[in-house]
Amino acid sequence: MASRVILLSGLVALIVNAALALDNNPILDFCVADTKNTVLVNGYVCKDPKTVQAEDFYASGFHIPTNTSNQLGFNALPATAAQIPGLNTFGISAARIDYAPGGIIPPHSHPRATEILIVLEGSQLEVGFVTSNPENRHITKVIGKGDVFVFPVGLIHYQRNNGSQPASGIVAFSSQNPGVHTVANVVFGSNPEIATDILAKAFQVDNNVINQIKSHF
Ligand SMILES: *[C@@H]1O[C@H](CO)[C@@H](O)[C@H](O)[C@H]1NC(C)=O
Ligand SMILES: *[C@@H]1O[C@H](CO)[C@@H](O)[C@H](O)[C@H]1NC(C)=O
């Protein structure tokens, strides 16, 4: 009886573990992405290991601020498996983020990754995320240079540079391809669009309010 309980809890632990392991575990030293291969797999097909070079594991320019002259006032330089082929199958990626004064990264989620943000410059970076239903608890803080903040996998989060100077940071993700769902674009800018009356009911407003928002996406 006791051994059955142990076996059962072992199985449950395995299943739970599998459910939490988002990117698959590597089974080779490396599987450098052959980004030109048209075969569709979960990730990228491996290049012939004999042709792999140091450049496959390399990127540069992450010390240079990106251009934040855009509507939202932020920009990002990604370092995912799409840019660094050697990241394929390793469950990790990163990005440089720049924020103009007043710039925001609008509410969004990464379906496949927890994110950790390390602030390089800035003194008034508002960060926050919201927990699942039914609590919908808003966890938020103002952080600055040298501070670190974590955004749990899948949860909707945002950032705003409330300072008068540009801010920047490096983020790392627990996926080679974290994915991004930007709430406004997903809800109001999908293609084809979600029916206006569905959104009107969901947001408890008139159709014309929904149509007005849709017209911006
Ligand atoms: C930044 O982007 C804006 C808008 O696209 C452009 O007009 C401007 O020339 C860019 N600045 C630099 C330094 O590249
Ligand atoms: C943002 O900046 C304004 C002006 O300095 C300040 O009044 C406000 O409290 C700041 N917001 C946060 C969340 O710190």
pLDDT tens figures, 162-184: 999 999 999 999 999 999 999 99
Q: Which stretches does DSSP call E strand in the chain?
A: 74-79, 93-99, 104-109, 115-121, 125-130, 138-143, 148-151, 157-161, 167-173, 181-182
Which ligand 1 atom minimizes the distance to the CA of 70?
A: 4
Flag whether 115 is marked binding: yes
Q: How would CATH label the architecture of 49-179?
A: Sandwich (2.60)
Kindly list the protein residues whose Cβ atom lies closer than 6 A to any atom of ligand 1.
Answer: 67, 69
The rounded percent of the chain whose pLDDT value lies above 90 is 85
Instruction: Please name the residue whose Cα sits nearest to atom 10 of ligand 1.
Output: 67
∠ CA 3-9-12 to the nearest 5 degrees? 145
Assigned token pair, 40 = 């569709």
Task: Provide the residue ranges of all domains of the chain, joining segments of one domain with +.
Answer: 49-179, 180-217
Distance CA 160, CA 171 (A): 15
The rounded percent of the chain whose pLDDT value lies above 70 is 90
- Only one residue has tokens 């100077």, namely 165
Query: Which of 20 and 189 is assigned the larger pLDDT?
Result: 189
Is 199 a residue whose pLDDT tops 50?
yes
Distance CA 172, CA 205 (A): 38
Flag whether 157 is marked binding: yes
Long-range (24+ apart) CB contacts under 8 A made by 130-139 are: 130/155, 130/156, 130/157, 131/155
In this prediction, residue 15 carries a pLDDT of 45
